[in-house]
Amino acid sequence: MKVAIIGYGYWGRNVLLAVLKSDFFELACVFDEDYSQIQAAKQIYDFQEYSSFEAILKDRTIEAVMIITPPQTHFSLAKQALEAHKHTFVEKPLSTSLQECQILYDLAHQQHCILHCDHIFLYSPAVQWLKAHLQDFGEIIYLQARRINLGLFQTNVDVIWDLAIHDLAILDYLFGLEIISHHTLRTHYRHFCALADIHLELKNPNANQNTNNTHINANINVSWLSPIKVRELIIGGEKKTAIYDETKKDKITLFDCGIVISEEFEKDNLYKKMVQYYLGDITYPSLDSRAPLENSIQKFQDQITTDSIDIALQNHTLRVIKGLEIISY
């Protein structure tokens, strides 16, 4: 299937490389409003040039487009692509409002086209491993995420929509994203929201009826102001704790440690609870080495070949955008 790459920035280059590894998609063209970017791609890859995005949409031999452009353009470009009966792959966020996302999904269903939003970490083998082994952690005590770097300031979205969206997507995949309460502390620099500390109280979908722990506390720290790059999620449970870091070779460090509540009776028969800790081995689970982006593109392909939008993924995307709106406004 011929596919057009729309946007040839940092991530567009990665998407193009992943497409070239596919045995299903064939690169038709690369398009960017900055013609120098098209020229840069042309020096490496062989493809037909088009004068405009509209010209690409008029070419019936191109059946799919991948939109890797600034977030504020996603809604308009995706809407035009779907109206032209193109299967559409969109970099996160799908759009900058929940209402616009719903419009796009409704349109995709009407046009019998696939609309796929690339929440990249859903396709990380590490995150999928965590999902498959959550029961081994026992009762979840806390979640702590840090996603910080000295990054480019975005003029169209703040640091929450740029970085925290990844952590919300992971949390939704692992635990659901029913927000009971929230508090967001922002730090602005030169009119940009460049740092945020977000506290979420989430409904615990796996809460034991015999415990009062019906909620999960999650803290997310995101920043464009850090001199170091950190991509870290800590999941602390009664039985095990995991540190997930996508930037490391061993992406999951698993600690066989947790909390023990021992029950004792003193001589005066007063009931006493003492908190103790146990420490065990540290292990590094073996994970699939396939890149998350390749897995995401494979998921896009699977929906096309089965002619059906994955409703679970659609609902996931809508929950994440809703979560972003809740903590942002």
pLDDT digits (tens, 9 = 90+) for 186-225: 888 877 888 999 999 998 877 665 556 678 999 999 999 9
Mean of pLDDT values over 139-160: 84
Q: What is the pTM of this model?
A: 0.90
Mean of pLDDT values over 21-33: 97
pLDDT of residue 197: 96
Neighbours of 116 (CB within 10 A): 26
pLDDT tens by residue, 252-283: 999 987 665 555 545 454 445 555 556 678 99
pLDDT of residue 186: 86
Across 190-304, the runs of DSSP E, i.e. the strands, are: 192-203, 215-223, 225-237, 241-245, 252-265, 271-283
Domain made up of 120-288: CATH architecture = 2-Layer Sandwich (3.30)
pLDDT of residue 270: 46
Q: How far is CA 125 from the centre of its chain?
A: 13
pLDDT at 235 exceeding the cut of 50 = yes
pLDDT at 315 exceeding the cut of 60 = yes
Query: CATH number for the 1-117+291-308+321-326 domain, one of 1.10.10.350, 1.10.579.10, 3.40.720.10, 3.40.50.720?
Result: 3.40.50.720
pLDDT of residue 153: 63
pLDDT of residue 299: 98
pLDDT tens by residue, 101-140: 999 999 999 999 999 999 999 999 999 999 999 999 988 9
pLDDT of residue 258: 63
Q: Is the peptide bond before 70 cis (omega within 30 degrees of 0)?
A: no
pLDDT at 79 exceeding the cut of 50 = yes
Mean of pLDDT values over 59-63: 98
pLDDT at 44 exceeding the cut of 80 = yes
Across 155-224, the runs of DSSP E, i.e. the strands, are: 179-189, 192-203, 215-223
pLDDT of residue 205: 79
Mean pLDDT of the chain: 91
pLDDT of residue 45: 96
Q: Are the CB atoms for 59 and 86 separated by under 8 Å? A: no
Question: How far is Cα 222 from Cα 151, in angstroms, rounded to an integer?
Answer: 11
pLDDT, greater one: 3 or 278? 3
pLDDT, greater one: 4 or 224? 4
What residue spans define the domains of the chain?
1-117+291-308+321-326, 120-288
